[in-house]
Amino acid sequence: MLMANVGIAVVLTFIYTGLKNASPNGSQISTSIGISSVITLLPSFLVILGVILLTNVGVYIVATFLKTGVFHAIYFYVWLFVLCGLPAIYIAAKELKYQFYLYYQAYYFTPLPLRVVHDYELLSCKIKIAFLNTKGKFISEISVGSHEKVELVGKLSNIPVSERNDCLYDPVFNDTVYIPKQTDRIRISWYSVIEDTQYDGEIDFPFDKLNYVPNKYPLDVPEFLRGKKTDPVMLALMQDGKIQLYNKHQDLTERVSVKSIEVSEEQKQKQFRTLASIYTVKSIPTLINTIKESKAIQRRAGMADYLCSWQITGSGLEGHNIEIKDVRHNYRTSAPLELNSFESRRLPIFFEIDYHKISWLYIHIDAEKLYRLLQENLDGVSQLTFDFTIDLETGKAELLIKNNEKVLPFTAWEKKLDAYRWEEAKGLVLENKDFTIKNNFLKEIYELIVAQKYVEAEALCETALEQYPYFPMIYFYKARLLWYKQGFDASYEKQSYFLERTKTDPYALAQIYNHYGCLYDEQDRHIESLECFEKAYAIYPTMVLYLSNIAEVHYKLKNANKAVHYAEECLAKGFTSDMVVEIINNKGVIMDKAVDNSIAGLQMELSNLASQYRSAQENSELHHKVLKEYYSTFEKIVELNGEILALDPDAELPDSFMPKAYVDYWLNSGDAK
């Protein structure tokens, strides 16, 4: 039997492997038969064999029970444990291991957003970085790959500005790494092809300069695991083995040179073969010489340190925000860039222009050409002005760069338009224009109503509806005008009409309900008024005025508890009015009156229950029901009054049925009846 199962498992293993290899993502195991192939198939074989044996044992236990009536409990529980218990233990162990590593990492390590940058034409590769905590003996190591588009080396002058900037300024590594807490050293090594030099060194790491703050998100993760966060740190690898760490706020270290080490000929040849796959073998030496002779690497290094005073001006920038990326790869996202204000900073390579947070226009600058132009035309202190002319409706954008108010002959910039976001921004512009026009209509109508110029106000309402057929708020003013001109009855007749016209706009609908609530209140129809105010507040709960109106109606209805409750809620929401203040100031009085009224009502109820008791047959169902309600009502009176009070004789029962607390109280007070 076992051999048969083994044979079936072998067949199924080959079928599974064949199907797996035939799939697009198959493992493509070699079809040759050998020891290595058999070893590769062994895990699949064992799993399949285990499933077959487990199935056979289960079938055997069930079949034996059905045939003989004998239930092998031990075998069954062992089988059940293997079937369910072992997988559960395995899953639990994996989860526990995962959780252990999460908490271990959170306890000993902290996240660091790291960006590694180097000049594109240095062809730096084999970058290895290690963060060390020498006291705790913890280490975190990463390896950084090379630039993806090395085929453009030596051809940067012939490609678009945006693509050129991507090559020159995009980080070669941009990710979050976990470094030991209190890291005090960083070890770096890399190979510079252009310099034909391997660099390797170790410097102090400025952990204390990193401003870590608690990470608030995600909310479904424990605070301990969320840990802390800090601003991205840039690691710049420069010519001659110089390195520097900085973030967008400050330089974290000075520029430090690390030592160069000898590289084996084998390693050089390996890198040479990598480049040879992109260029012809003969062109590599020529390429290296061309880059060295151009001095472009040194020029870009000088440009990274160059500071000049510049500002942004222009037309069409209303409602826009501009963010920049400069030659040191820092986004200025901490605050909107102030316009018409000179500030000393590095040259920009990128402007991101958004309209109310909708980024629709991108301007790419060839900063290297601009820097060269400034150096050639240096005339005193440079004060640059980037003067934009933007038309959101047509998508046109122009840029003039001025130095000390003199226009520079600079055209090395490129505009990119995000068509989808542009349409979205244009739609928002139209919405804002409509919003402004509608607000002006409402403002003018309101002013006419205040001036009691009802005819002019009504005419303006019609004009607004002609221009904007969907304008629900106009119907609120039409409802008010109807009341001013024709009174209550005419307004009530058209209530359903105005509700129908405003039902698609929550604010307008709430205003209509509030309007009719005020009308009902004017006629002391407080129940109908309260219903309208409650609907208004339910529809638009941010308008606390409706809540104040609810409190006022309850106050008039002498519902003291509710009036005080809603008045206090108004104050809690930062809203007050004369009526809210009156309710709060009279809180003690109206609450006392409410208690007195409640006690009087309950005493009347006791009298009625006592009368029912006297007319009920003793030990009958009605007799017991009345006694139960009597005791409950008596307890309510005591709770409200704070002590037992004398009841009217008509409200009393025979002593044997009166609440024991009542009888004891009067006996102890010496006032027994």
Looking at the chain, how many residues does it have?
673
- Residue 366, judged by CB atoms within 10 A of its CB (0-12, 13-18, 19+), counts as buried
Cα–Cα nearest to 353, from 311, 400, 415: 415
Distance CA 494, CA 83 (A): 73
The pairing of strands 383-391 and 308-315 is parallel
Looking at residue 672, what is its pLDDT?
Answer: 42
Tell me if the bond preceding 409 is cis, omega within 30° of 0. no
Q: Under DSSP, is residue 626 helix (H, G, I), strand (E, B) or coil?
A: helix
DSSP string covering 306-344: --EEEEEEEES-TTEEEEEEETT--B--SSPPPSS--EE
Task: Please answer whether residues 340 and 373 qualify as being in contact, where contact means their C-beta atoms are separated by less than 8 angstroms.
Answer: no
Say which residues have a Cβ less than 8 Å from residue 97's Cβ, sequence separation at least 6: none
Task: Please answer whether residues 130 and 139 qualify as being in contact, where contact means their C-beta atoms are separated by less than 8 angstroms.
Answer: yes
Q: What is the mean pLDDT of each run of 10 residues along the chain (673 residues)?
A: 73 74 58 64 77 79 80 82 85 92 91 92 87 91 81 79 89 92 93 86 93 88 89 92 90 91 74 60 70 85 89 90 85 70 91 90 93 78 89 91 90 93 88 85 91 91 90 92 91 92 92 93 91 93 91 84 86 88 73 58 74 74 78 74 71 75 67 44
Helix axis angle, 578-585 to 560-572, nearest 10°: 120
Looking at residue 124, what is its pLDDT?
Answer: 84
Distance CA 543, CA 89 (A): 56
Q: Which uninterrupted H or E stretch holds 354? A: strand 348-355
Task: Please answer whether residues 570 and 555 qualify as being in contact, where contact means their C-beta atoms are separated by less than 8 angstroms.
Answer: no
